[in-house]
Amino acid sequence: MTLIYLLVGIAVVHALFLLYPVYRDEALDVYLWTPWTEEKYALFRKVTGNNKQVRIRLLINWILWPFLIIFILVMPVVFLFKLQGILKEYDGEVTYSKDGKALLNVAENLRRVKVKKGVEVIASFAFDSTQVTHIKMPNTVKILEPYALLRAHYLESVNLPDSIITIGKYAFQYCGGLGKGLKRIVLPKYLHHLNENAFFGCDGLKKLKIRGDFMWKASWQNDNPFYYTKSLVEIKNTNPNFKVENGMLMSVDGKILFRCVNEGKRVAVKDGVEIIAQGAFGGRDRMEEVILPNSLRMICVYAFSGCKLIDNVVLPEGVEYIGIESFSFCPNLKTITLPTSLKTIVCGAFDHSDHLQNFVYPKGMEDEFKKMVDDAKYDLPF
């Protein structure tokens, strides 16, 4: 804007100079439109009648005329950018909506961001693939849209003010995996909606405090917000719709197990659990044995994926379903005992568990179960 004001000022001064009555009639054409010759220079001197005045005005002419040209050329461009800026406002390397209520985009190389007060929405992909390490949000922010902090690999700290009521799906996907890492998350006190896979792939996340009154969704079984948080070792909870027992985050009725952070070598799942959600045990590197309850009915996608030390799994009677890659990438897994209640093993359930050769089938149902297992060994088409 400073440049615009300067150019406007120059143009005004120039116009007044050209309208100076001493020479405006005869000299105007010479001054504006034609090259300087000795004859025209003499004419200009004759019109003005003052050598010093001529020198001063010639100097002003050569200085101001290029600026006038620049002004004429630049102003249409500036005007066009102004029109495009109706929906955007720039604050350094951060882009906000014109009304200041949404943060739209952050420059890739920006490290620290203090979000302006008044912002209510962090837009989808606002921090996508940036190098930001620290984010400070005001207590006016209400919504983190889907993918808002997607691939903010270098993120180390972010405050989530209590004003936030919605965190969109994949909002923190792959955050904090590089650098010092995002170690701790405290969910907002009044959070009402936590959507699918919100913290998917936050590898460095160690501590999670769950607050708010949001309710789990049926879609969480296969799109768990806490899936693939393999470094998570502590979960605290004040949300009335959940409970944490023995290092396990469950629905308050104890029927769905969402995440296990128990670091013991032998882990027993509490009786009453019917569903083990997506990735609930994923990446539990220290677990060597898991005891499953008779209440269990469903093992969802990636439930035990990446459990490197577990070598034997006994599925209790009552289990009916084993999801995609439930026991994938378990390099030491050698034996699985299958119950008569089992009805479905989804394709790829045992992918990349190369030492799994021993399946214990129910007596009298060996052929049927062997076919079910063989069908499930086919690689997934992606």
| Fold designation for 248-382 | 3.80.10
- The pLDDT averaged over each successive group of 10 residues in the chain (382 residues) is 58 55 47 55 61 60 62 62 46 87 95 96 97 96 97 95 98 87 94 96 93 96 92 96 96 97 94 97 91 98 94 97 95 96 94 91 94 78 46
CB neighbour list of residue 20: distance below 8 Å, 6 or more residues apart: none
Three-state secondary structure call for residue 84: helix
What is this structure's pTM?
0.75
CB neighbourhood size of 96 (10 A): 21
DSSP letter for each residue of 249-291: EEETTS-EEEEE----SEEEPPTT--EE-TTTTTT-TT--EEE
Closest Cα partner for 291 from 275, 309, 324, 315?
A: 315
Which residue type occupies 326?
S
Read off the tokens for 283.
């990446």
Which residue type occupies 140?
T
Residues 166 and 191: their CA atoms lie apart, in Å, by 6
Three-state secondary structure call for residue 9: helix
pLDDT, tens digit, for every residue of 113-137?
999 999 999 999 999 999 999 999 9
Residues 173 and 197: their CA atoms lie apart, in Å, by 7
Give domain limits for the chain: 2-84, 85-240, 248-382
| Fold designation for 85-240 | 3.80.10
Quote the pLDDT of residue 228: 87
Residues 244 and 242: their CA atoms lie apart, in Å, by 7
Quote the pLDDT of residue 145: 98
Residues 62 and 281: their CA atoms lie apart, in Å, by 77
- Could you tell me the CA-to-CA distances from 37 to 41, 54, 65, 215, 327 in Å, in that order? 6, 14, 18, 85, 90
Three-state secondary structure call for residue 19: coil
CB neighbour list of residue 301: distance below 8 Å, 6 or more residues apart: 222, 278, 279, 323, 324, 325, 326, 346
Strand bridging mode 248-251 / 256-260: antiparallel
| Fold agreement between 85-240 and 248-382 | yes
Read off the tokens for 104.
């739209």
Q: Are the beta carbons of 181 and 203 closer than 8 angstroms?
A: yes
Residues 36 and 34: their CA atoms lie apart, in Å, by 7
Quote the pLDDT of residue 19: 54
Q: Are the beta carbons of 193 and 165 closer than 8 angstroms?
A: yes
DSSP letter for each residue of 25-80: THHHHHHHTS---HHHHHHHHHHH--HHHHHHHHHHHHHHHHHHHHHHHHHHHHHH
Closest Cα partner for 246 from 254, 238, 221, 311?
A: 254
Taking the CA atoms of 246, 252, 257 and 258 in sequence, report the sign of the dihedral they define: negative
Quote the pLDDT of residue 378: 63
